[in-house]
Amino acid sequence: MTRVLVLTAIDVEARGLARHLGLAPMKGAGFPHFLGGALELATVGLRGARLSERAAAWRAPDLVISAGACGALDPALSVGALVVPGVVLGPDRARWPTATLPRLAPAGALLTVADVVESAAHKARLWMETGALAVDMESAPIMAWARERGVSAAVIRAVSDDAERGVPAALAAAVGEDGRVRPLRAVSAALSRATALGDLLELRAGTEAALKSVAGALATLARSG
């Protein structure tokens, strides 16, 4: 059986996917870490900041998947739309071809950036400059980490925020580098301006829709063996 290591940026993504997939938490883990059959799931923090220090806790994988939410750059992508790119573009525009996954045809490119994309105008500019369908902050580091170890890697993500919406900086700041949401920061973000609470609720709903799509794709992958 192929052992698949699924890596997410933040705790919310890992816990949501584990719930949808019925994965069990690993006892004694100091970070979200789940296991079930061929799938192992863990968080690596924003920008993959915790990849190296947490890797010792994982089984040696046959395939690595960068999973979770992403932001749409292509206006045609709606919230919840699945993104399985054929290539990942790094912040330095390095290109990382992805592995072909059974029953999940790759299409287009995913752009990894170093900083949160806060506005629709910024998204439009990135789309025009790169042609990428969507954007995240972790897939390029994950692809590079897997490549260094001679392991195949791919991306299964889904849209949490469409091309008309960015992620406000105050909301982004509520998530620490380790991928954990800081409750006090989240409350402060929600109170920072008149529309902030609505933005938070919409992003939360979008993230849940994205995770359902990703979980469905991961379940398909697991069934394919």
Which residues, including other chains, have CB under 8 Å from residue 139's CB and lie 6 or more apart?
66, 88, 96, 110, 112, 155, 157
**Confidence label for 167 from pLDDT (cuts 50, 70 and 90):** confident
51-57: long-range contacts, CB 8 A cutoff, minimum separation 24: 51/7, 51/141, 51/142, 51/145, 52/145, 55/145, 57/26, 57/29, 57/33
Count of domains for the chain: 1
Give dist(CA 36, CA 155) in Å, integer.
20
- 196 pLDDT tier (thresholds 50, 70, 90): low
State pTM to two decimals: 0.90
Asked if residue 153 lies in contact with residue 66, where contact means CB atoms within 8 angstroms, the answer is yes
Structural domain of 161: 4-224
Backbone angles phi, psi at 85, to 5 degrees: -75, 155
Q: How far from chain centre, in Å, is Cα 127?
A: 19
- Residue-wise pLDDT for 22-76, tens only, equals 999 998 888 999 999 999 999 999 899 999 999 999 999 999 999 999 999 999 9
Q: Are 43 and 67 in contact (CB under 8 A)?
A: no
CATH number at residue 164: 3.40.50.1580
82 against 189, higher pLDDT? 82
The mean pLDDT of 68-95, rounded to a whole number, is 96
Residue 218 clears pLDDT 80, i.e. is over it: yes
Residue tagged 């059986």 (tokens)? 1
Determine the angle formed by the axes of helices 11-21 and 196-224, rounding to 10 degrees.
Answer: 50
- The residue that leads in pLDDT, 169 or 92, is 92
The angle formed by the CA atoms of residues 119, 123 and 125, to the nearest 5 degrees, is 115
Burial (CB count <10 Å: 0-12, 13-18, 19+), residue 74: middle
Q: What is the dihedral of CA 213, 218, 50, 153, to 10 degrees?
A: -120
Residue 65: strand pairing partners: 6, 154
Burial code of 153-170, b = ≥16 C-beta within 10 A, e = fewer?
bbbbbbbbbbbebbbbeb
- Is the alpha carbon torsion for 48, 49, 54, 55 positive or negative? positive
Percent of the chain residues topping a pLDDT of 70:
85
Asked if residues 183 and 140 have their Cβ atoms less than 8 Å apart, the reply is: no
